[in-house]
Amino acid sequence: MENKIGALANGVNIDHIPQGNAWHIIKLLKLQRKYPVGIGLNLTSKRLGVKDLVKIENYKLSEEQLSAISIFAPGATYSEIENYQIVKKVKLTVATEIENLVICPNHRCVSHQYRSKFSFNNEREKVVATCHYCEHNYELSSLTEFNL
């Protein structure tokens, strides 16, 4: 699997991304053109069945970026690689609160006029997102529009 899009000398590998979410992550990171990116879509995974994968050369994510991408990839594995060695490996967990990223699915919600604010709670292995403004609860999969 690793060899399909090449081994990384330096950079990051985001593995076990739920199928279809790699594009959200790429858009969210707003990468400048100087960073080569490898994207694996619809790869077979023992854990997920099918997964996406993103590799970015000569790049590291900030803590803020990590918490933002986590809503597209809870449980994904983020690895930082230096000289072909993994120097940092973390499993992504959804942040407790994220501002100005998720667009509330409730079209009548007043948040559309402000910076959106969502809190995320893990309830029995399932993440529930709550809009700070209309206080509706959403499953992660029903959040489909983002400020990207």
Least Å distance, CB 129 to Zn ion, is 10
Rounded to whole angstroms, how far apart are CA atoms 51 and 38? Answer: 14
Output 68 or 131, the one with its CB closest to Zn ion.
131
Out of 28, 41, 48, 134, the residue judged to bind Zn ion by CB under 5 A: 134
Task: Please name which of 43, 38, 39, 52 lies closest in space to residue 9, comparing C-alpha atoms.
Answer: 38
Neighbours of 82 (CB within 10 A): 13
Tell whether residue 143 is a contact of Zn ion (CB under 5 A). no
Told to check if 111 binds Zn ion by CB under 5 A, we report yes
Q: How far is the CB of 104 from Zn ion (least distance, A)?
A: 3
The residues that bridge with 55 in the sheet, in sequence order, are: 13, 38
Residue written as tokens 């930082």? 80
Q: Could you tell me the smallest distance in angstroms from the CB atom of residue 135 to Zn ion?
A: 7
Q: Which is nearer to Zn ion, 61 or 134 (CB)?
A: 134
Q: Is 104 in the site for Zn ion (CB under 5 A)?
A: yes
Instruction: Give yes or no for residue 109 binding Zn ion (CB under 5 A).
Output: yes
Residue 71 to residue 28: CA distance in whole angstroms = 11
Q: List 98's β-bridge partners, or say none.
A: 118
Candidates 24, 131, 138, 143; binder of Zn ion (CB under 5 A) is 131
